[in-house]
A and B are shown apart, each in its own frame.
Chain A
Amino acid sequence: MISCKSLSKNFQIHIKRPGISGALRAFVTREYRDVSAVKSFDLDIPSGEIVGFLGPNGAGKTTLIKMLTGIIVPSSGSAIVLGYEPFARAVEFRKQIALVMGQKSQLWWDIPAYDSFLLLKSYYEISTSDFNQRLNELTELLNVQHLLQTHVRRLSLGERMKMELIACLLHQPKVIFLDEPTIGLDLVAQTAIRDFITRYHALYGCTVVLTSHYMADVEALCSRIVLILDGAKRFDGSIESFEGLLGNEKYISLTFDKEARDSNPIWEELRAEWNEQGTRVDLRIPETRLPELLGTLLQNYPVSDINTEKLPIEKVMRTLLDKPEMLKS
């Protein structure tokens, strides 16, 4: 469905020096800096999968999506989506894909969403009966029937995002790219969007590529994670294997009655992260040594509360971003 081989993208970024002299100099000789945004990327996504692209800001997620949708041309390598080269931008290709950008609205700001939908109906050559049926279904799933005639600029961010989703799904695309669809939304709206994507996917089995900074999105939706750091793919696999990436450690947090921080070497060994006052500590304990170590700690320190959980994906993510070298092993 989607496949790319050693896909790369380099940008030439024009260096602007500060001040008037810098501006004048730029007029005569322009200086450029090469930035490689995506580095030799290999990817294969089968039909019907939901894949999450993870990575910090500027890692190259959006660049990758822009290449896969044909908005920008790769510097080298190949990409095939639905049998097409995206950047040839064949009309038939464009009719089968959709892109939602959480940060950019595709709807016309000053008119009701319904009018925009009518426009898309004609662009995608959707028959009136299909259009009505799909619109009914989508508005019902998202619970926005009553907002169709409201000017888009008067909608809340969450409501607008729902409309954006409808706009991109009216033509029943086979591949959907969602670039941070829940950015800036409150928890209720985030959950609503997430549930909707799950249900929609279950109904139609489309292929979905999603980027998000909210791990909850990824955990709820994606069966597969692709971690992108600095333009390169650093991990590609299931959520479970991602969570196990840092070893089978338990993530334990202890709260004490009074300051418990001391020079005991055990803290170092368990990679302790203390709070300001030294009354709370986060530890990572190998599963096999858990009973023994926990017993020692409970005996020797005034523990008032224990919290234990599997290392959450968010923690894994943060750890990897801090220490990307951990991935190499």
Chain B
Amino acid sequence: MSVLVLEARKWAQTMSIAFSDRLAYKFDFVLYVLGPSIVFFFIKYNLWVSIYSYQTESVIKGYDLGMMLQYQAWILIVSFLAQGHTSLQLAEDIRLGRISSYLLYPFSFWQYHTAAFFSLQVIQIFVATVSLMVLVLAGLLPVNLDLLIQGVFFSLLVGLLWFAFQFTIGLLAFWLEETWVLRVMLMLVAQFLSGAIIPLELYPDWLRSLLLYTPFPYLAYIPVKIFMGEYDASYLQTLLILIFWIGAVFMLARFVWRRGLRLYSAAGM
């Protein structure tokens, strides 16, 4: 049997086990995947509806109420497609020393967690599809197949960027006893800087242009704009920049992993 087939089988089997592991507590899973995003969506929905009702002008920085709600609805879809992963499990594996087992298997720790991420993505894509259908049927989102394909593809790549971020933070468990606070901070900072709460147009111009040099807008604002057909820059160029960021954060993760492993294998913890 060829090496490739054997390797593919390892990944597939890991995905399958991560899948059943995640679905072992079904209620918990539903709360964890759906809960935060949907609650957050409804809060923002009501917030913007009431903001617009007090506003004398019906357009804020180019957004009327319908556009703003559409923006928020796309944010929900993007968060399903791209931001489902957390590195909770990874950090636990390190902190509790379970990493020792992975160091013995002929399948590495990063491979295991990457495969687990892929299996989560399968679920997330399903959830995103159902949500999209609901939102379209509710009349909140228009459908344009071209934009949809571009947006979904882009969002899935954003998922990789998010995964790389999470992976790096999870690895800090080599040095820190608890990475929960850091993860929450990453989430909050990312929420604000990525435009997930307020579209970036509403920020001061200098901040907006500054942010576009960081990876944050790629997490929410840019994919949403692509879904809405409003992103001015070339799709291909944006895609390349995103890929650059993914590469950069993965390099960072790799660096942190090596340092951490050296610490772990030197100290045994």
Which listed residue, A9, A122, A151, touches B13 by the CB 8 Å rule? Answer: A122
Q: Of B12, B106, B264, B268, which is within 8 A of A63 by CB?
A: B268
Residue with the greatest number of chain A CB neighbours at <10 A, chosen from B98, B101, B106, B262 = B106
Measured between beta carbons, the chain B residues less than 8 angstroms from A73 are 262, 265-266
A122 near B10 (CB under 8 angstroms)? Answer: yes
Binding site for B on A (CB under 8 A): 9, 11-12, 37, 63, 66, 69-73, 87, 89, 91, 94-95, 97-99, 101, 104, 106, 108, 110-111, 115-116, 118-125, 151
- Chain B residues with CB under 8 Å of A106's CB are 101
Whether B9 contacts A122 by the Cβ 8 Å rule is: yes
Is there contact, CB below 8 Å, between A95 and B265? no
A64 to chain B, nearest CB (A): 11
CB neighbours (8 Å) of A99 from chain B are 100-101, 104
Give Cα A89 to B102, complex, Å.
11
Bound Cα distance from A153 to B264, whole angstroms: 28
Q: Which residues of A contact B268 (CB under 8 A)?
A: 9, 11, 37, 63, 66, 71-72
Report B9-37 residues with CB < 8 Å from chain A CB. 9-10, 12-14, 16-17, 20-21, 24-25
Give the complex CA separation of A11 and B265 in angstroms: 10
Across the interface, A110 reaches (CB within 8 A) one of B13, B21, B267, namely: B21
> Is the beta-carbon distance between A104 and B17 smaller than 8 angstroms?
no
User: What is the CB-to-nearest-CB distance from B96 to chain A, in angstroms, rounded to a whole number?
Assistant: 8
A123 x B10 contact (CB < 8 A): yes
Taking a contact as CB atoms closer than 8 A, the residue among A69, A118, A123 that contacts B106 in the complex is: A123
Given A104-B98, A111-B24, A125-B6, A71–B103 Cβ distance below 8 Å? yes
Q: Check if B107 is an interface residue, CB within 8 A of chain A.
A: yes
**A98 — nearest CB in chain B belongs to which residue?**
B104
B105 to chain A, nearest CB (A): 5
27 contacts between A and B (CB under 8 A): A9-B268, A66-B268, A71-B265, A72-B264, A73-B262, A87-B265, A89-B103, A99-B100, A99-B104, A104-B97, A104-B98, A104-B101, A106-B101, A110-B20, A110-B24, A111-B17, A111-B21, A111-B24, A115-B20, A119-B14, A119-B17, A121-B13, A122-B9, A122-B13, A123-B10, A123-B105, A125-B6
Using a CB–CB distance below 8 Å, which chain B residues touch chain A?
6, 9-10, 12-14, 16-17, 20-21, 24-25, 97-98, 100-101, 103-107, 262, 264-268
A256 and B140 alpha carbons, distance in the complex (Å): 93
The 8 Å CB contact of A12, one of B97, B107, B267, is B267
Distance in Å from the Cβ of B15 to the closest Cβ of chain A?
10
Least CB distance, A211 to chain B, in whole angstroms: 15
CA distance A128 to B268 in the complex (A): 36
Of B6, B17, B98, most buried by chain A (CB within 10 Å of CB) is B17
Does A108 lie within 8 Å of B106, measured CB to CB? no
Residues B104 and A71 in contact, CB atoms below 8 Å apart:
yes
CA distance A111 to B21 in the complex (A): 6
Q: Tell which of A12, A101, A115, A122 has the most Cβ of chain B within 10 Å.
A: A122
Bound complex: CA A37 to CA B105 (Å): 25
* B102 CB → nearest A CB, Å: 9
* Residues on the A chain within 8 Å of B106, using CB: 91, 94-95, 123-124
CB pair A111–B265 under 8 Å, yes or no, is no
Tell me, rounded to whole Å, the shortest Cβ–Cβ distance linking A239 to chain B: 29
**Minimum C-beta distance from B27 to chain A (A):** 14
Chain A residues whose C-beta falls within 8 Å of the C-beta of B12 in the assembled complex = 122
Give every chain A residue within 8 A of B14 (Cβ-Cβ).
119, 122
B266 touches A72 (CB 8 A): yes
Q: In the bound complex, how far is the Cα of B112 from the Cα of A120, in angstroms?
A: 12
* Residues on B with beta carbons closer than 8 Å to the beta carbon of A98: 104
Of B9, B16, B100, the contact of A71 (CB 8 Å cutoff): B100
Question: Is A94 within 8 A of B105, CB to CB?
Answer: yes
- Distance of B178 from chain A, by nearest CB (Å): 14
Alpha-carbon distance between A14 and B100 when the two chains are bound, in angstroms: 21
Tell me whether B101 and A123 are in contact (CB under 8 A): no
Residues A94 and B13 in contact, CB atoms below 8 Å apart: no
The answer for the CA separation of A108 and B16 in the assembled complex, in Å, is 12
A104 and B107 contact, CB distance less than 8 A: no
Contacts of A66 in B (CB 8 A): 100, 268
B239 to chain A, nearest CB (A): 34
Q: A63-B268, A119-B13, A125-B6 are in contact. Are A94 and B24 (CB under 8 A)?
A: no
Q: How far apart are A328's CB and chain B's nearest CB, in angstroms?
A: 29
Interchain CA distance A125-B104 in the complex, whole Å: 15
In the complex, what residues of B have CB within 8 A of residue A125's CB? 6
> Shortest beta-carbon distance, B119 to chain A, in Å?
12
User: Which chain A residues lie closer than 8 Å to B9 at the CB level?
Assistant: 122
